[in-house]
Structure 1
Amino acid sequence: MKHAQHPFTESRPVAPPMVSGRLPVLGHVLEFMRDPQGVIRRGYEEHGLIFTIDLAARKGVVMLGPDYHQFFFKETDGVFSMRQGYETLLKMFDSRLFTFAHLTESQEQMKVLLPLLKNNDRFITLMEKEVDDFMQDTMGESGDIDLVDAFGPLVMHIGAHAFFGEDFRYQLGAEYFSVYREFSQGADVVLPSWLPLAKFRKSRNAKARIETMIYEFMQKRREAPREPKDLFQELIESTYYDNKPVPDGLLISMLLFIPWAAHETTVGHVAWTLIDLLQNPKYLAQVREELTHVFAEDRSLTPDALKQLKTLDWAILESERLHPVAHVIMRGVRDDMIFEEYEVKKGSMVFVAPATAHNIPEVFQNPDAYDPVRFSPERSENSKKFSLIGFGGGAHRCAGVNFAKMEIKIIIAKLLLNYDIELIDKDPQPKPGVETKWPESPCRIRFQRLDT
């Protein structure tokens, strides 16, 4: 890939090369909706690290590899726009919120949120309790479960417990999860939300119900504050510009968005991590050996014990590489731009595609192989910035990434310490289409509790 001293030049070059196979009028739209990674992979094989796909109403430029990723994330609040990249989500969330807000507004919101997520160790006990309850109530001594069906409620309960508190989790948790699943169906990156489809109508109704639940719970907490404070209490008491309270509407939007984002990503990542381990028994044996060593005398999930689980850390990273749940990350282009030898027009879309970028030999050796040790200090194949982007990158990288990875680690560690597990469906595949890339059901495991 050629590199200019500065990405903008005075020349008038051509658009990035077009991927083959586009149809008259519709371009690649139908194929992209059915198999977005198929189109993107073909573009990479035909043209390398930058190319164009035809999305009918507008063009989409795909950028692959750490150098292009760096430019993509750097320009997110410059020539690129997140609001234009995720217009459908504006119907689900407040347009002033994190992802959609202007940079100054977004930074102020992150000043409120990031300190609350800095000490993730305080969530270890509640995560462990939720997993223990899951093993007792959902799994029992033996049987089989579908991973996505089972992990969905578990992850949502952990999120409700951590972000809203114990009282919300146990008073409203069951209803909250049921309504939240209907709300989540409104996330569609291709179809406009004004279409008269049942999923969009149900999503709007569910949003109204959840917002009411959150507001009523906020009012109860203000009347009877929680001591010691949990994250929810800290958030509703936090201040914003000029030490003024964060407006209720914005607080509710934050509390709507954070668990949604956490649920959509974490369910897929924890399921793929377990699947990959079960499909690779030699590496699974190493993870089990490490767990046995670390918890030989005491099975308490202390911060120090969790930090020692390096082979499990590498497994989580390798599953993020092989199965990024956010398989495409999008931005809109605010103004005509010239980058290197290419021209990109205002109104176009720009994509980075983790599912393809994580599997090219320019970045990762033998990319089709499951090889968690590639993330060990001796190899560090992700040492170049923006090589691994399953949770985004730059200023808008997922704020809860460390929370999510600790949650994944605790779930996997607890399951492997307590059960012998095997895959029933031996080769799970990602969900088709443009949805979040969870494993497609059926994706079942069979388990038997270990003697302790």
Structure 2
Amino acid sequence: MANGLRTSRLKAYIKKIEQETRNYLKENWAGESGTVDLLTCLSELTILTASRCLHGEDVRTHIFKEVQELYHDLDHGLTPVTVFWPNAPTEAHKKRNKAREEMVRLFAKVIKERRENPERSDGTDILSLFMDIKYKDGRPITDEEVTGLLIALLFAGQHTSCISSTWTSMWIANDENVLDKVLAEQDKVLNGNMSKTLEFDDIQQMEYLHNCMREALRMCPTFIMILRRAEIDVPIKVEGKSYVIPKGDFVCVSPTVSMRLKSTFPEPDTFDPDRFAAPREEHKKPYSYLGFGGGMHSCMGQNFAFIQVKTILSIIFREYEIKRVAKDMPAVGYDDMVV
């Protein structure tokens, strides 16, 4: 899976993300002014761009609407109860299971057509990669396993990016000084050509926008809890005292709490992207920043997430003047799995 997210593939994704973004905005944000629901729009945009990059042109063009509807049922079948009772006999779980079966059928058809007509794909999407991989014993993965991986990637590439892009854009629009810095950086990176087609190097140079996204994830992390299960007894020492985490027990950390600790992030309730820039670099204290988890199992898709969100927001803030309609920033919905 990591091979599908390496730099050479990320470079190919930027043009696809930009094309999808511009087409969406042209169709849905026409006119000189108007009111939009950023969460709804960015949800649609992130699933469009994720599908184009992960699933490929044929899925995006021919069966995207079906995939989107099935994804809705899969998404709503993931609740806090699911974590502890994944097969609870609820209506949401029934729809989720049915949607997954239908998703397998759809992707099996796509995979079959891809194998019969390989020239129809440019080979840069992750579906192409999955179709060719094998287990260590040489056995190819099944179509159902490919579908499972694609569903997992779509969840990772849509839900969290949707939430993080919404919070990032809201926090930027909330502070004129931050917005001015974002626009000044865009002008500098693009050499004054604000309609320029984006390249990988352009996105990499947008350090302030990068730090805005980091800070939005610090203020409003997408997951309020990160769980890890101990596979063996784990001895630890905390403040001079020894403990053992028994095999099979779960350890939970809350990014929502830890990334608001004053001892690590001074003025933690203030949106301040510069806290990540030199010389402050407050995030460099080990395990202080958990926007993408941490340790051996940190999010492998974080580079894709930065590329996806920064490309979308770069275009939006260059093309539109964004102002918040509501008086106050919205409250975080802690009842949801992704907040």
> Unpaired runs of 5+ in structure 1?
1-112, 438-452
Q: Encode CA deviations 1:240-299: one digit per residue, 9 max, x unaligned.
A: 314442333322211111111221211100000001111111111111111123231361
1:182-197 superposed matches below 5 A: 182-191=73-82, 192-197=85-90
Q: Would the alpha carbon gap of residues 247 and 218 (structure 1) be closer, same or farther in structure 2, given more than 3 Å must change?
A: same
Structure-1 residue corresponding to 2:17: 127
Q: Encode CA deviations 1:377-432: one digit per residue, 9 max, x unaligned.
A: 22111112322112112232212110011111011110010001111123211113
Secondary structure, aligned partner of 2:196 = coil
Alpha-carbon distance between aligned partners in 1 of 2:259 and 2:206, rounded to the nearest angstrom: 24
In our comparison, the structure showing a higher alpha carbon Rg is 1
Alpha-carbon distance between aligned partners in 1 of 2:196 and 2:211, rounded to the nearest angstrom: 21
Any conservation in 2 of the 1:127–1:158 contact (CA below 8 Å)?
Answer: yes
Q: Structure 1 residue aligned with 2:140, among 245, 249, 260?
A: 245
Structure-1 residue corresponding to 2:123: 229
> Unpaired runs of 5+ in structure 2?
none
Structure-2 residue corresponding to 1:427: 329
Alpha-carbon distance between aligned partners in 2 of 1:117 and 1:390, rounded to the nearest angstrom: 18
What is the deviation of 1:128? 0.1
Question: What TM-score does the superposition give when structure 2 sets the normalisation length?
Answer: 0.90
Secondary structure, aligned partner of 1:116 = helix
Secondary structure, aligned partner of 1:350 = strand
What is the deviation of 1:337? 5.1
Any conservation in 1 of the 2:71–2:99 contact (CA below 8 Å)?
Answer: yes
Alpha-carbon distance between aligned partners in 2 of 1:302 and 1:345, rounded to the nearest angstrom: 49
Secondary structure, aligned partner of 1:389 = coil
What is the deviation of 1:214? 1.1
Structure-2 residue corresponding to 1:207: 100
Alpha-carbon distance between aligned partners in 1 of 2:244 and 2:81, rounded to the nearest angstrom: 24
Structure-1 residue corresponding to 2:319: 418
Secondary structure, aligned partner of 2:42 = helix
* Aligned-partner residue type, residue 124 of structure 2: D
Any conservation in 2 of the 1:153–1:177 contact (CA below 8 Å)?
Answer: no
Alpha-carbon distance between aligned partners in 1 of 2:201 and 2:247, rounded to the nearest angstrom: 50
Structure-1 residue corresponding to 2:286: 385
1:13-28 superposed matches below 5 A: none
Where relative contact order (Cα < 8 A, 6+ residues apart) is larger, the structure is 1
Superposed CA RMSD: 1.8
What is the deviation of 1:335? 5.6
Q: Would the alpha carbon gap of residues 347 and 280 (structure 1) be closer, same or farther in structure 2, given more than 3 Å must change?
A: same
Any conservation in 2 of the 1:114–1:399 contact (CA below 8 Å)?
Answer: yes
Task: Answer 1 or 2: which has greater strand percent.
Answer: 1
1:131-150 superposed matches below 5 A: 131-141=21-31, 142-150=33-41
What is the deviation of 1:346? 5.1
1:22-61 superposed matches below 5 A: none
> How many aligned positions are there?
325
* Aligned-partner residue type, residue 43 of structure 2: G
Alpha-carbon distance between aligned partners in 2 of 1:322 and 1:269, rounded to the nearest angstrom: 10
Q: Encode CA deviations 1:178-222: one digit per residue, 9 max, x unaligned.
A: 110111112223352333322111111111111111111111101
Question: What TM-score does the superposition give when structure 1 sets the normalisation length?
Answer: 0.68
